[in-house]
Amino acid sequence: ILNVEQSPQSLHVQEGDSTNFTCSFPSSNFYALHWYRWETAKSPEALFVMTLNGDEKKKGRISATLNTKEGYSYLYIKGSQPEDSATYLCALAGGTSYGKLTFGQGTILTVHP
């Protein structure tokens, strides 16, 4: 059974602060690591899909890194804005899991103006 852990569970920051979250996963049988943003009353939206050890991806103020050997990924948000408030989910695709994604419990980010 794959166990994907995210920390912290929740985070409150002020507008303009930079922040980061962690996703830990078993390094064996790794295939891909996904990050999603889930805003209230909306659908989860993909941010990044990473497959290679050392991958770094960036989209605007958000970036992510991946270390498959030690089993972790970091998501960074630079200069947080109130519209960044959402639940951030990471999900692991294992080598034989086909379309199955194993999700962590998520990090709830609240950005205060």
Partner 1 sequence: KAGVTQTPRYLIKTRGQQVTLSCSPISGHRSVSWYQQTPGQGLQFLFEYFSETQRNKGNFPGRFSGRQFSNSRSEMNVSTLELGDSALYLCASSQKTGATEAFFGQGTRLTVV
Binder of partner 1 out of 17, 24, 97, 108 (CB under 8 A): 97
Count the alpha carbons within 13 Å of 48 in the hemisphere toward its beta carbon.
Answer: 23
Number of residues that bind partner 1 (CB under 8 A): 25
Q: Which stretch binds partner 1 (CB under 8 A): 14-22, 66-74, 75-83, 95-103?
A: 95-103
User: What does DSSP say about strands 107-112 and 86-94: parallel, antiparallel, or unpaired?
Assistant: antiparallel
Task: Choose which of 46, 53, 54, 58 interacts with partner 1 (CB under 8 A).
Answer: 46
CA of 46: how far to CAs of 14, 69, 87, in Å? Answer: 24, 23, 12
37 contributes a contact to partner 1 by CB under 8 A: no
Nearer to partner 1, 91 or 111 (CB): 91
Per-residue x/- marks for partner 1, 47-76, CB under 8 A?
Answer: --x-x-------------------------
Q: State the Cα–Cα distance between residues 1 and 8, nearest whole angstrom.
A: 22
What residue ranges in 1-113 does DSSP mark as E strands? 5-7, 10-14, 19-24, 30-38, 45-50, 56-59, 62-67, 72-77, 86-94, 102-103, 107-112
Interface positions with partner 1 (CB under 8 A): 31-32, 34, 36, 42-46, 49, 51, 89, 91, 93-94, 97-106
